Amino acid sequence: MSTSPPLYAVADFCLIPVGTPTTSVGEYITECQRVLESMKDQGIRYEVHGYGTNLEGTFPVVCKAIELCHEAVHRLGAQRIATDIRIGTRTDKPAPTQHGQTENQRKKQSVIQRLSQH
């Protein structure tokens, strides 16, 4: 029986605590960031942006990261959480490596610079 490599996933999620005493979400974002940082040894990569967080890793690890963020935010007192999640996978190319990501980022920066000169 052959085993395929784990499915690689790219996800974007926005976790929204509901019914908290304040409109500020900084404390919850910070706690979720701590969770994600602790998962780096499992291959998770993340980037927090203005309206959510991008995740990259194997499909099970990406899902586990979102679950652990939910648990952490509940521990901070949020009784309810609404989360929007988008997950993409592909099998036509190998999973990106850190070098591949760096090269892609360099190419994007090059295009941005070229376009800004016009």
Q: What is the pLDDT of residues 93-113, one digit of tens each?
A: 877 765 555 566 667 777 777
Whichever domain contains 64, its CATH number is 3.30.70.930
Residue 84 within any structural domain of the chain: yes
Structural domain span for residue 77: 8-93
Residue 25, CA atoms < 13 Å, CB-side half-sphere: 15
Residue 87 within any structural domain of the chain: yes
Pairing of strands 8-18, 45-49: unpaired
Residue 35 within any structural domain of the chain: yes
Q: What integer pLDDT is reported at residue 93 of this predicted model?
A: 82
The pair of structure tokens assigned to 59 is 């499909």
Residue 69 within any structural domain of the chain: yes
Q: What integer pLDDT is reported at residue 103 of this predicted model?
A: 62
Total number of domains constituting the chain: 1
pTM to 2 decimal places: 0.79
Residues 3-53: pLDDT tens digits? 777 899 999 999 999 988 888 999 999 999 999 999 999 999 999 999 999
Q: What integer pLDDT is reported at residue 92 of this predicted model?
A: 85
Residue 109 within any structural domain of the chain: no
Distances (CA, A) of 29 to 73, 106, 117: 9, 28, 36
Residue 15 within any structural domain of the chain: yes
Residue 113 within any structural domain of the chain: no
